[in-house]
Amino acid sequence: MYHLDDSDYLNEKYFRKTQSVCPECLERIDAEVYEEDDQIFMRKTCPDHGDFKDKISSSAKYYKWTHWAIKDENGNVIWKFDKDGDSNPPDCVGEDPRGCPYNCGLCEQHISTCSLALIDLTNRCNFNCNFCYANVLQSGYLVEPTLEEIDRIMTHFRSKPIPAVAIMFTGGEPTVRKDFPEICKMAKDHGFMEVIAATNGYGFQSKKGGLEWTKKVKEAGLDTLYFQFDGINNSTYEQTRGIKNLMPYKQRVIDNCREAGLNSIVLVATIASGVTDIEVGNIIQYAIDNIDVVRGITFQPVSLCGRIAFEEREELRITNADVLKKIEEQTGGRISMENAWYPLSTIVEMGRVIAYLADVEPIEFTCHPDCGFASYMAIDPDSGEMMPVMEYFDPLKIIDFANKFWEKIKHKEKKPIKLFTDLLGEGIGETLDKGLNFLDKTQLRARFLIGILQYAKKPGKLMEMFSRVLINGDWESISSFSYGTLLLSSMHFQDAYNMDLERVKRCIVHFGVAMPDGTVKEISFCTMNTIHRPEIEKQIAKQITPKVRDEFDTTTGQTLEEIQQEVARNGGMKKESDE
């Protein structure tokens, strides 16, 4: 593990104070994160609703590693996984005296920028999963922004000093909207480099016109499917989605995307203990088998909603560490917990060096280390077997080098060289300084490239692409590199039981909501779903018209009844599939 040779630190019991919310009344309360029986828990007490305890991590060792800090001889922290990101100016003045998390957003307490912008395109869906918050039939109202409102949200995210580079359309099922291709095009026109749809595959899988539709949305600008994929067994989907024989439906999405050339699919698996946790190895192998179109897998330990007793939560609760253990177990130890995984925030300094030297928009993953872990898999050119990309270079060394490098040059970002401007004034002096800065960056780039590549262990096209990432830091290089690898990640979204306001403040995944007064609210993912959603939706909800109710799918004008039949035919309720 990275820098984990400090046994004294490992032997100390972990403890820190933070703030959370009461799962009953959602009021802010103090909380403690502590170690017990080699696991990490959160405890908190609400004056009105009593004591609460919840598991944060099933591995104290792993958790402590991600909260470890490098200190100098005076005990000052010089590097750690959790860090404050660069912030955009706040969108609003926090009017609620209780502060975070009630003032989203974003308010002045937020200390990360948005890396991934989200827009809920609709709460209509062809599935009817009983645990989902976004369901038009259960909620009794429609949430569906107009094109003008979507345009307003996109403008909001792209007009900030540090704009969001990627956008994801969520729902409901976003592809039931007739204007979905138009919305994808709109996102590209706004300058989003990555346009993503969080989908169960509905629009892509249709037997009648699914392929043509897939081609159409790709042409319009859709880059990636964030594709709901709970496993390879029909029985798993029956448990998670309540629909029988769903795997052919899922396979058809993969096949149509392959044929349409939409070859960036991220499989998204909700991991619930005893339900989908046995599928993690299956999903990895499935991704490898479909590696020409599958770019990554995101495992999402399930968030728990509603009133659940501690004992029951103990049974249901699955943490990032559990997912990593399952992956290690189910891949024969090839993707090991101790060597393959890093918190997303690990590469922040490296990203900053690259962005500074290449003069590009930085992509900052300054989320809290508890939010998620990632690992890249790549094909060993010698054996043809997939392995963690850590086998390609020494990750500890390159991260160390990048950290030291950034520490040395970060002052230059704020204070470029102004030698000639001071001597000769603006005009010629400025031009000469521009040249000087260019030369300085060129020599820095050469040093950085050598410093990182000295730790490379394997040659080949992938490493050549990696060197392009280091030189350019541009989207073309990053995107192409990601096409040569398989990204594995685990993202644990918070619920009211385990909410940690240190995580909330560092959230990098933000919803954008167009409000009736013409403004846009930017709200961090976990607070939206745990705290703000009911109040927000009360303000933006529309009445369900007979048209919405009856013409469920605006793409085809089909009725809800017909859609259900189609789901049944295409992998749904009927056992007799016409596959």
Partner 1 sequence: MSDEYIEDKDGKKIRKLVELKTSTAKEYEQIMLDRVEEFKNKNAEKSIFNNFIQNTLVTGVGTLLNLKVKVDEALGEDNLKKVHDALDKILLIGL
Give 21's DSSP letter: E
Distance of CA 461 to the CA centre of its chain: 27
Q: How far is the CB of 416 from partner 1 (least distance, A)?
A: 15
Q: How far is the CB of 404 from partner 1 (least distance, A)?
A: 6
Do you find a cis peptide bond into 105, omega within 30 degrees of 0?
A: yes
Q: How far is the CB of 469 from partner 1 (least distance, A)?
A: 11
Q: Where are the alpha helices (DSSP H) in 221-347?
A: 234-241, 247-260, 280-289, 310-316, 320-330
Q: Across the strands, what pairs with 299?
A: 269, 490
Q: How far is the CB of 344 from partner 1 (least distance, A)?
A: 22
Q: How far is the CB of 563 from partner 1 (least distance, A)?
A: 28
Q: How far is the CB of 285 from partner 1 (least distance, A)?
A: 5
Nearer to partner 1, 435 or 459 (CB): 459
Whether 46 and 52 have beta carbons less than 8 Å apart is answered as yes
Nearer to partner 1, 132 or 387 (CB): 387
Structure tokens of 530?
């745990």
Nearer to partner 1, 61 or 447 (CB): 447
Q: Return phi, psi of residue 144, to 5°.
A: -155, 100
What amino acid occupies position 387? M
d(CA 553, CA 175): 9
What amino acid occupies position 259? E
d(CA 497, CA 22): 7
Q: How far is the CB of 62 from partner 1 (least distance, A)?
A: 22
H/E stretch holding 9? helix 7-11
Whether 223 and 253 have beta carbons less than 8 Å apart is answered as no
Q: How far is the CB of 90 from partner 1 (least distance, A)?
A: 34
Nearer to partner 1, 111 or 396 (CB): 396
Residue 438 burial (C-beta neighbours within 10 Å; 0-12, 13-18, 19+):
exposed
What amino acid occupies position 406? W
Give 193's DSSP letter: S
CA-nearest of 58, 56, 57 to 44 is 56
Q: How far is the CB of 281 from partner 1 (least distance, A)?
A: 5
Nearer to partner 1, 121 or 267 (CB): 267
Q: Which residue has the tokens 């309720």?
A: 573
d(CA 275, CA 271): 7
Nearer to partner 1, 208 or 457 (CB): 457
Q: How far is the CB of 316 from partner 1 (least distance, A)?
A: 18
Give 391's DSSP letter: G
Handedness of CA 267, 271, 275, 277 (dihedral sign): positive
Distance of CA 484 to the CA centre of its chain: 20
The angle at the Cα of 85, spanning 80 to 90, to the nearest 5 degrees, equals 150
Nearer to partner 1, 282 or 339 (CB): 282
What does the binding site for partner 1 look like in residue numbers (CB under 8 A)?
A: 232-233, 235-236, 263, 278-279, 281-282, 284-285, 288-289, 291-292, 330-332, 334-335, 377, 379, 383-387, 397, 401, 404-405, 408-409, 444, 447-451, 453-465, 467-468, 471-472, 474, 476-477, 479-481, 483-484
Nearer to partner 1, 462 or 531 (CB): 462
Q: How far is the CB of 353 from partner 1 (least distance, A)?
A: 11
Q: How far is the CB of 162 from partner 1 (least distance, A)?
A: 22
Q: Look at residue 479 and give its three-state secondary structure.
A: helix
Nearer to partner 1, 105 or 473 (CB): 473
Q: Which residue has the tokens 């990490």?
A: 40
Nearer to partner 1, 273 or 479 (CB): 479
What amino acid occupies position 305? C
d(CA 530, CA 452): 41
Nearer to partner 1, 234 or 530 (CB): 234
Do you find a cis peptide bond into 172, omega within 30 degrees of 0?
A: yes
Nearer to partner 1, 75 or 332 (CB): 332
